[in-house]
């Protein structure tokens, strides 16, 4: 593994990015890392990640976030639970209730429970909490009180999505949501998986393609979603996601 697992691109125009964030309360930072380090992290997600599932289906027995961990995915009980959750998310979406489903490796949980001490995901979380990365986020957002970040690895596969929500956990210190996109190269618009933003009438104001090596930053709360990945899309909408916090 390269020693420079998380090297920030030195050519970023932080002042210009800060201007856009101040205007829109969100911004996509392209080529945020050097190409080599972004490819290294993508390789970890592609080849060294034990994916489970994250789902939620409000208005059902699966109220609140649900997990099916990788170790349970091959068991009959785990498979039955995943199928029930999948059906429940479809039903919740049809009712207009909040729902989501995507593949997940919960990095913070993995570190806390000692799944792979010193492993690459633990190193990714450490790098997201380095002074260099936190200062980049402060410089762009103007929030000088950002002190730490949490994180999870995510993979939106075919027919997976994240419903409309606002991320209102201000009391928990959430100030900025982030998405470090590590998709396969040349992700096509028809494949979906866009980070979408909405006005008060439900119209899409803006949407960010999950282009490789881009960092989405958005002040929370604000209405947003991830559009469903098309049933014909290739596997590859990888990302590291989470929240930058002031406590």
Taking only the tens place, the pLDDT of each residue in 77-98 is 999 999 999 999 999 999 999 9
pTM: 0.96
Q: What pLDDT score was predicted for residue 125?
A: 97
pLDDT surpasses 80 at 3 = no
Task: Residue count of the chain, please give it.
Answer: 247
The answer to whether 150 touches 243, Cβ cutoff 8 Å, is yes
- Residues 15-70: pLDDT tens digits? 999 999 999 999 999 999 999 999 999 999 999 999 999 999 999 999 999 999 99
3-state secondary structure of 80: helix
Identify the CATH number of the domain defined by range 14-55+100-245.
2.60.120.620
Grade residue 1 by pLDDT with cuts at 50, 70 and 90: very low
Task: Report the first-to-last Cα separation within the chain, whole angstroms.
Answer: 32
pLDDT at site 200: 93
Q: Can you tell me the mean pLDDT for 195-206? A: 96
pLDDT at 20: 98
Where along the chain do its domains lie?
Answer: 14-55+100-245
Closest CA to 115 of 66, 50, 47: 50
CA 106 – CA 121 distance, rounded (Å): 9
């Amino acid at each position: 593994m390269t020693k420079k697992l998380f090297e920030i691109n030195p050519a970023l125009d932080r002042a210009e990015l800060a201007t856009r964030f101040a205007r829109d309360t969100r911004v996509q930072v392209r080529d945020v890392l050097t190409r080599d380090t972004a490819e290294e992290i993508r390789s970890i997600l592609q080849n060294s990640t034990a994916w489970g599932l994250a789902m939620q289906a409000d208005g059902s027995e699966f109220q609140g976030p649900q997990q099916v961990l990788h170790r349970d995915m091959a068991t009959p009980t785990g498979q039955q639970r995943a199928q029930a959750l999948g059906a429940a998310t479809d039903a919740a979406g049809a009712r207009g209730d909040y729902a989501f489903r995507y593949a997940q490796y919960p990095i913070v949980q993995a570190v806390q429970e000692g799944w792979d001490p010193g492993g690459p995901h633990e190193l990714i979380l450490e790098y997201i909490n380095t002074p260099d990365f936190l200062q980049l986020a402060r410089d762009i957002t103007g929030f000088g009180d950002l002190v730490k970040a949490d994180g999870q690895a995510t993979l939106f596969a075919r027919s997976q999505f994240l419903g409309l929500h606002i991320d209102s956990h201000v009391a928990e210190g959430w100030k900025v949501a982030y998405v470090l996109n590590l998709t396969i190269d040349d992700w096509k618009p028809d494949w979906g998986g866009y980070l979408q933003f909405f006005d008060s009438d439900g119209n899409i104001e803006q949407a960010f393609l999950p282009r490789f090596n881009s960092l989405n930053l958005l002040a929370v709360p604000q209405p947003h979603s991830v559009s469903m990945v098309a049933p014909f899309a290739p596997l590859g909408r990888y990302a590291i996601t989470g929240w930058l916090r002031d406590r």
